[in-house]
Every structure is written in C-alpha cells, then in structure tokens.
Amino acid sequence: GQVCASGVAVIGSGHKVFGNTMILGVFPELYAILGLLVVILINGNIAG
C-alpha cells in the first residue's frame, strides 16, 4: 500500500515512474497468489 501511495504521489508531481510503481505494487500480490496456489496444491496431495 505504501509503495503504491508514494508512486501515485510522485506521478502526480510530474515524474514518469508509472512502470516502476506498477511493478513494485504487483510483486506482493504475486507472492500472495503463489502462496495460495502452493497451499491448494499441498492440500490436494494430502487429501488425494
């Protein structure tokens, strides 16, 4: 959240950092999705 908020503030002040802000904002979500996928796969192997 903090990275995205800072990125929006800097973009608003005229700097061209949209790409960097998007990449840094997406990384935590990517790891959350990967973690969820691992949990689902592990539970599937244990139950099956």
pLDDT in tens, 3-38: 889 999 999 999 999 999 999 889 888 999 999 999
Which token pair is 8?
């929006």
What whole-number distance in Å separates Cα of residue 21 and Cα of residue 8?
8
What whole-number distance in Å separates Cα of residue 26 and Cα of residue 18?
12
- Global pTM reads 0.57
| Distance in angstroms between the alpha carbons of the first and the last residue of the chain | 38
What whole-number distance in Å separates Cα of residue 19 and Cα of residue 10?
12
At position 14, the amino acid (one-letter code) is G
Residue 28 pLDDT: 85
